[in-house]
Amino acid sequence: MSKETRTYKTGEFIYQEGDASDCAYIIEAGRVELLKNGPSGPARIGGLSKGELLGEMGVLDQGPRNTSARAETTTKLEVIPRADFLKMIEKDPQAALKIMTRMAKRLRDSDEKLASTPAQSPKAPVTTSTPPTPSPLKTGGQAALPAPPVAGGALVPFMPIDPQTVPMHHLNASFQRQGLLDRLVDVFRGGRTAARRRPRTVAITSLSLDAEYDQRPYLLETLSNLDGLVTRATTNDFPAPPEGIAVRDLRQARLQARPLQAAEKADVLVWGGEDAEGRVISMYFSNKTLPDTDEPGFFPQDALLVVPGDFDETWGALLRGAAMAAAAGKPSTDYPLLPILAEQAAAIALQPPSSLTPAEQATVRAMFGHIAAQAGLAFGRTQLIDAAIQCYQAALPDMPHETTEDWVSLNKALGLLLLERAEKTNDEGVLRRAADAFTNALSGMQRNHDPRAWGNLHVRLGAVQFRIDMVSGDEQALREALSHYQTALTAFPRFESPWRWADVMTAIGQVLQVYGDHLKNTDILQKAVDVCQSALEIRSAEASPLLYAATRNNMGSALFLLARHTGDPEYMRLAALSFRDALAVHRSTGSGGPLARTILKNLDRAETALNRIENRRVAQPVWAGGDLPETSQD
């Protein structure tokens, strides 16, 4: 291994955030401080001393330096070129594990210290009806972008910013080979090469009817050599338009894109065309996402991005991120470069060029939102998720409602992200924002056009309203939850979609159970029992033991409440029988987890109540005022 040493004076930078990562260092003497750009400028996030490794992260993930390193004292470093560093860790798997552990700790410490650094600008107050303003996204090589102010419960347009040019040139070479970080993991696994996913194909159609002005060659170059993707021009194209037509009819092309994608055997088809003046190019990223997909961070079937007709490398990160996110379709760790691309695309996404119209800027923000949401969920980057929410909220007011599919897709994406956040915080305001987003999405849908997608949105709204009641005790939310679930049943008839029908019936039983307890109405509680019994005709112990156990537990909870409100001990015996049955079936699968603990706790409550009944007779059973059983959520 070649050896080179370098000496740095106190206060001298060894490298700065955003520089290319061409080597790592071992500190032979002195101390080094690590800095990262934050809301108030560079923040100290740690220090290293003699014998410690420096700069290994950029070498491993093939990205730019994500911190700055500055000598705290006169410092002597041994330089380890990338190739020599790789050989070193391949020979020593234990060293690979130590490096990975140190990297994880350094990332965590960096996030915690940046989060605790106060921003210079004041933030809007948080109320119960307004979700917290998303944290400003911190971008590599520049200060954090300011969060837009919140007024009247809605995000207003972004304040002007002056982003620096994001250095992208160094990424091209690093995309050309397998990631060193992947190889590091392989070393720790014992030197065996892990099975890699099939590279996904991105096929690009012509983007202009005039070959002289067609930007496809430049887009092919921009998307070339991306790890995990194979990018090529389509072998076929859209049918030629009638003579005298100078631009492609994008509405007609949208109908033809799916068959063309299938013929090309492409995972992603990038297609579109320029406007009559050649001012802008509308690019659609069509993938294989199903239209009724409702997973947070999903990439829409046909996501639109409008770029200037003469777009250049400043759009590179956004275009690369769009291709990767479209290929993944949903949050996935297959593309570890996606968070880096998201951060580098933030500047142009949060402040698109003024040459674009508001509606065109909305497509830029929406596309960034899809990339950031996917990267944030896949890699646990909360700031990216917040940035996605920011951009979705900013894009929607400028998106024309006549583009119904895009309007629906963006509202659904926003609702899913808000719900994801609310499930961790139980924030009523965020839940209500999610409900508003789903309601807006439904306003652009017709049941007959896509019954499953329409029904699934009603299920989502039912779940959100039910959760709002659980957080706030709002009985109106319960009634709305019940209404949405009952409406969803019309999209999932039992004879056509028996399992989805059973899912919705179980949810209805859960709402009826809580609603009946609120009103102390035994008829509603009996209806909850009956609904669960119907769901069990599909969710049988033989067909799906875990779903059977969950539904049987919910039935037991409804019976427990019937016993409480009627004073009839027979209901308590039936409740205990339900819990025993659920626990036995659950245990037969060898599964544990929260469901097993919930069933066991409910069984203990029911049996305690039964023992008291059998041991003594009282005017009002002791269990009548005791703790309530817990229901199961699938």
Residue 563: both structure tokens together: 């016993």
What stretches of 265-331 show up as alpha helix (H) in DSSP? 316-328
pTM of the model: 0.67
Is residue 101 pLDDT above 80, yes or no?
A: no
The number of helices, as runs of H, and strands, as runs of E, in the chain is: 20, 15
Task: Determine the distance from the C-alpha atom of residue 455 to the mean position of all C-alpha atoms in its chain, rounded to a whole number.
Answer: 22
Domain match, 237 and 370 both: yes
Q: How many domains does the chain have?
A: 4
Would you give the DSSP letter of residue 130?
Answer: B
Q: Select from 115, 136, 167 the last residue of a domain.
A: 115
Is residue 48 pLDDT above 90, yes or no?
A: no
CB 485 within 8 A of CB 466: no
Give the CATH number, domain containing residue 26. 2.60.120.10
The answer to whether residue 187 is domain-embedded is no
**In the predicted model, what is the mean pLDDT of residues 573-583?**
93
Domain match, 534 and 629 both: yes
Domain match, 62 and 202 both: no
Domain match, 443 and 510 both: no
What's the confidence (pLDDT) of residue 116? 46
How far apart (Å, rounded) are the C-alpha atoms in residues 238 and 206? Answer: 9
Domain match, 471 and 509 both: no
CA 280, 305, 232 angle in degrees (round to 5)? Answer: 95
Residue 625: band (very low, low, confident or very high) from pLDDT cuts 50, 70, 90:
very low
Residue 174: both structure tokens together: 């690093």
Residue 84: band (very low, low, confident or very high) from pLDDT cuts 50, 70, 90:
confident
pLDDT in tens, 384-418: 999 999 999 999 999 876 667 888 999 999 999 99
**In the predicted model, what is the mean pLDDT of residues 601-624?**
72
Residue 529: band (very low, low, confident or very high) from pLDDT cuts 50, 70, 90:
very high
Q: Select from 455, 490, 525 the last residue of a domain.
A: 490
How far apart (Å, rounded) are the C-alpha atoms in residues 222 and 214? Answer: 14
What's the confidence (pLDDT) of residue 416? 94
What's the confidence (pLDDT) of residue 55? 85
Domain match, 366 and 435 both: no
Is residue 59 pLDDT above 90, yes or no?
A: no
pLDDT in tens, 311-327: 999 999 999 999 999 99
**In the predicted model, what is the mean pLDDT of residues 204-220?**
91
Q: Select from 456, 473, 490 the last residue of a domain.
A: 490
Domain match, 479 and 515 both: no
Domain match, 341 and 449 both: no
Is residue 519 pLDDT above 60, yes or no?
A: yes
Domain match, 276 and 237 both: yes
Higher pLDDT, 454 or 57: 454
What's the confidence (pLDDT) of residue 189? 43
pLDDT winner (highest mean) among 132-141, 536-545, 587-596: 536-545
**In the predicted model, what is the mean pLDDT of residues 566-595?**
87
What stretches of 473-592 show up as alpha helix (H) in DSSP? 475-489, 498-519, 522-536, 545-566, 569-588
Is residue 28 pLDDT above 70, yes or no?
A: yes
Average pLDDT, the chain: 80
Domain match, 348 and 424 both: no
Tell me which residue range forms the domain holding 461.
404-490
